[in-house]
Chain A
Amino acid sequence: RKEVEQDPGPFNVPEGATVAFNCTYSNSASQSFFWYRQDCRKEPKLLMSVYSSGNEDGRFTAQLNRASQYISLLIRDSKLSDSATYLCVVNRASGGSYIPTFGRGTSLIVHP
């Protein structure tokens, strides 16, 4: 089982749609969780951290389920500019440190 797994998609949705991505992780000792956005041929950029209580930033909502070892990202009222790849990042314990491990990303295409 991969350390961090994501459905690669693509998710093809119309503007205004609500779309949700899930990410599962294998290391139960993981401490920190993030969603990053990566545009084509660009570097990943932090979208939001994921907190145990769940958190919201505008149209974006992130949830963490430690028992089931998954995190989710919900995007409401999708915009054309939301088209990108969304990378799940989970820290794994490694020799006293926590190392970021990426999923392969979920591709989102928002069309008019």
Chain B
Amino acid sequence: DAMVIQNPRYQVTQFGKPVTLSCSQTLNHNVMYWYQQKSSQAPKLLFHYYDKDFNNEADTPDNFQSRRPNTSFCFLDIRSPGLGDAAMYLCATSLSTGGADYGYTFGSGTRLTVV
């Protein structure tokens, strides 16, 4: 089945130690998104790619970076994780921006713990 896969499901990292989360998709969607979701809060968009075109949200900290080497893969790099970065990180895809076609498909998320 076509899907969005995130690895790992659970990630524990040390305070200040760089960590990379990965997302892959078999949907051949043009757009990939990274969201951060903390407990009982709305998913917050960090950035998105339309093909190779990177779009950063204005309030996304510099500590968060992203790479999309090809259509299928997208990575979230956290350069120096702080305790406040502990959250669920969700990757999503859509065929086009706006999702007006089929909405957004989410991966199962990576739950990041910072110790």
Contacts and interface: CB of A to CB of B under 8 A. Distances in A.
A31 B97 CA distance: 11
| B-side interface size class | 20 to 34
Contacts of A100: 33, 45, 92, 94, 99, 104
A34 B103 contact: yes
A102 B102 CA distance: 16
Nearest to B43: A102
Nearest to A103: B42
B7 interface: no
Interface residues of A, number: 26
A51 to B, nearest CB: 10
B41 interface: yes
Nearest to A6: B42
Contacts of B100: 31-32, 91, 98
Contacts of A46: 102-105
Contacts of A103: 42
